[in-house]
Amino acid sequence: MKKTLLVMMTFLPEFRAILEALAPELDIVYCEKQPPTEEDLKRASYIWGNPSEEQLSLCERLEWLQLQTAGHDRYVLPGVLPKGAMLCNCSGAYGLAISEFLLAHTLVLMRKLHLYRDLQHEHSWSHLGRIGIVARSSVLVVGIGDIGARYAQKMHALGARVFGIRRQVDKKPDYLEALYRMDQIDDILPQCDIVALCLPNHPETEGLFNRERIAKMKQGAFLLNVGRGSAVDTEALCDALESGALAGAGLDVVEPEPLPENHRLWNIKTAMITPHCAGGDQFGEIYPSIIEVWCENLRRLQADEPMLNRVDIETGYRV
């Protein structure tokens, strides 16, 4: 009997042809226009996409879940995946788009363009004083994965001194001045003008930037977050922005999310907030990268080779 591959994301015709040529032995079910049926879920050996917990509870034969996102935190919770099912995320597909998003926020904040935009709305021809220069700045990238590494490379190319934080320290890339372990973060944090958080949601990263750590940041520094809002104490961040201890923040993720309409963060002029959209491009550059990761992992599965971005269900980290 053929194994069933359930595709739960829009699959454009040109990519369907590639997939079907790659796996003629599979029964491929596309579910972009309607949710999968109960029978589809019960038959699925492989799923591509981000199914709900309720849908996964029906997956009696699931062997492999390939996510369309880099984030995988809710899928490693106890009892979410059927026993023995392999989990892979889509890390590597989002680095280009999100690193450019980080770069854009960096330039806007340092040049005070967001504040000049506010003055434009007020019809005010005013100067806001001193601005930052990327080429003279020190940057700390917390989380040197695909996204963090690409942002670090861009900042290095612009002349910044870039430092990195990674859970496990091995060979230092040429674009970093130095590479530190997570428990060494306070050694470098007070020196840095820009701190970019590119972290997954994990018990070890929750509350990493609490009130005490935010207080250790350099006076007038900028905080960027494209990982998970749970890494930052939102109230402590608001206090630091309102007091001027931090010069600004660029936040694509917040805690809580979505941010309540009456939250004071909305009204802090030095904060730029976007609705967790840094990795979305509506079938632009990211979409082909997702499909490339998926198809490569299918090839590897067929060849019994190590999978890309396989997640250890016990630790919550990639293997």
List the alpha helices (DSSP H) in 195-307.
Answer: 211-215, 234-243, 286-303
Contacts 24+ apart (CB under 8 A), 110-119: 110/134, 110/137, 110/194, 110/222, 114/248, 114/269, 114/270, 114/272, 115/269, 115/270, 118/269
Task: Give the distance, in angstroms, between the CA of residue 166 and the centroid of all CA atoms in the same chain.
Answer: 15
Q: CA dist 265 to 2, 77, 278, Å?
A: 53, 30, 19
**What does the pLDDT look like over 189-221, one tens digit per residue?**
999 999 999 998 888 999 999 999 999 999 999
- Which among 202, 107, 193 is positioned nearest to 154, based on CA atoms? 107
Of 182, 178, 146, nearest to 161 (Cα)? 178
CB atoms within 10 A of CB 269: 11
Cβ within 8 Å of residue 41, ≥6 positions away:
6, 51, 55, 58, 59
What whole-number distance in Å separates Cα of residue 30 and Cα of residue 131?
A: 51
Looking at residue 1, what is its pLDDT? 76
Tokens representing 115? 């504040």
pTM above 0.85, yes or no: yes
Reference 131, options 188, 190, 193; nearest CA is 193
222 with 106: CB under 8 angstroms?
yes
Computed over its alpha carbons, how large is the radius of gyration of the chain?
22
pLDDT at 283: 55
pLDDT per residue, tens digit, the chain (319 aa), is 789 999 998 888 889 999 999 999 999 999 978 899 999 999 999 999 999 999 999 999 999 999 999 989 999 999 999 999 999 999 999 999 999 999 999 999 999 999 999 999 999 999 999 999 999 999 999 999 999 999 999 999 999 999 999 988 888 999 999 999 999 999 999 999 999 999 988 889 999 999 999 999 999 999 999 999 999 999 999 999 999 999 999 999 999 999 999 999 999 999 999 999 998 765 577 889 999 999 999 999 999 999 999 999 998 888 8
Q: What is the per-residue pLDDT for 282?
A: 57
277: its two tokens: 């959209």
| Domains located in the chain, CATH noted | 4-93+283-303 (3.40.50.720), 95-273 (3.40.50.720)
The per-residue pLDDT for 170 is 84
pLDDT the model gives residue 281? 65
Q: What are the backbone dihedrals phi and psi of residue 31, each rounded to the nearest 5 degrees, phi first? A: -125, 35
CB neighbour list of residue 21: distance below 8 Å, 6 or more residues apart: none
Sequence-distant (6+) residues with CB within 8 A of 114 are: 108, 248, 269, 270, 272
Q: Which residues pair with 88 in a beta bridge?
A: 66, 310
Containing 142, the helix (H) or strand (E) segment is strand 138-142
Q: Render pLDDT for 222-235 as a digit per residue (tens, 0 to 9).
A: 999 999 999 999 99
Check residue 95 and give its pLDDT: 92
- 147-178 per-residue burial string, b: 16 or more CB within 10 A, e: under 16: bbbbbbbbbbebebbbbbbbeeeeeeeebbee
Q: Which of 189, 231, 239, 188 is nearest to 210 (CA)?
A: 231
